[in-house]
């Protein structure tokens, strides 16, 4: 009889993951520039490198992500962190958060919190260094942060890169591996981004959403029938209601 009762119980709902890009999706600006500013204030980065990062950030804001730009900025940034202890880099992350905190879009943050309230896992996924992705995730109460890996030996950053930049197809690969490991059904999961470069990530889930999209992503979203949000209260409220309704329907 007990076996019959157990067989009639509804199956437990699978976990749902929501993936958020960081730069220009959650944060107004380029996180690498905030890293450079914080590193400068801690005496890690010379002024000439801060100027270089500022120029790259300006290009980023005008033209969007380009892999060559990201690779160049990340490579130089990691060279500057060579020899820094993990404790020192932790201090850097906290200083960066002082710069970033006021630059988080309140509308996107509200959407992130709606997913958490719905019982979803929320993962930030970005080309930014992994220590910063994790720090931002902790600040926002997200489940975790996935960024570009940095090599650490004996508690010291070597200045070497660990794996490829978390960009384009790499984001999709990381998200797919995470969904598999967590037991998620991709068709129930969400992804949010502003960039056409995140098309692989967006197509890896059942609910892709463009936020503040660049021209190419906005055009693709129209053709594909995806939701495309501008950061205005009405648009975000409607998306939060959709998330809430989907969670309720899933039990």
| Residues recognised as catalytic | 21, 23
From residue 198, alpha-carbon distances to 54, 67, 162, 168, 193 in Å are: 23, 12, 21, 5, 7
SS3 (DSSP) at 84: coil
CB atoms within 10 A of CB 182: 15
- Find out whether 240 and 247 touch, Cβ atoms under 8 Å: no
CA gap 190, 221 in Å, rounded: 14
Rounded to 5 degrees, φ, ψ at 172 are -65, -45
Q: What are the angstrom distances between the C-alpha of 118 and each of 176, 187, 204, 229?
A: 21, 17, 21, 20
What CA–CA distance (Å, rounded) separates 175 from 181? 10
């Amino acid at each position: 009889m007990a076996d019959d009762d157990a067989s009639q119980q509804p199956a437990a709902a699978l976990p749902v993951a929501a993936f958020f890009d960081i730069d220009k999706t959650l944060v107004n600006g380029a996180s690498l520039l905030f890293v450079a500013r914080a590193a400068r204030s801690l005496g890690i980065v010379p002024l000439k490198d801060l100027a270089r990062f500022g120029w790259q950030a300006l290009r980023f804001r005008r033209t969007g992500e380009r892999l060559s730009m990201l690779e160049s900025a990340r490579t130089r940034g990691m060279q500057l962190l060579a020899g820094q202890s993990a404790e020192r880099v932790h201090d850097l992350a906290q200083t960066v958060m002082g710069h970033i905190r006021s630059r988080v879009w309140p509308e996107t943050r509200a959407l992130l919190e709606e997913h958490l309230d719905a019982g979803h896992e929320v993962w930030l996924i970005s080309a930014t260094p992994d220590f910063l992705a994790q720090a931002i995730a902790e600040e926002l109460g997200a489940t975790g942060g996935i960024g570009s890996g940095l090599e650490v030996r004996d508690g010291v950053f070597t200045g070497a890169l660990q794996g490829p930049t978390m960009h384009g197809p790499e984001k999709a690969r990381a998200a797919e591996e995470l969904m598999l490991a967590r037991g998620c059904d991709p068709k129930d999961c969400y992804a949010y981004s502003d960039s056409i470069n995140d098309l692989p990530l967006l197509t890896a889930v059942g609910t892709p959403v463009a936020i503040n999209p660049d021209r190419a992503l906005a055009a693709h979203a129209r053709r594909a029938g995806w939701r495309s949000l501008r950061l205005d209260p009405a648009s975000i409220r409607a998306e939060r209601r959709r998330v809430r309704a989907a969670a309720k329907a899933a039990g």
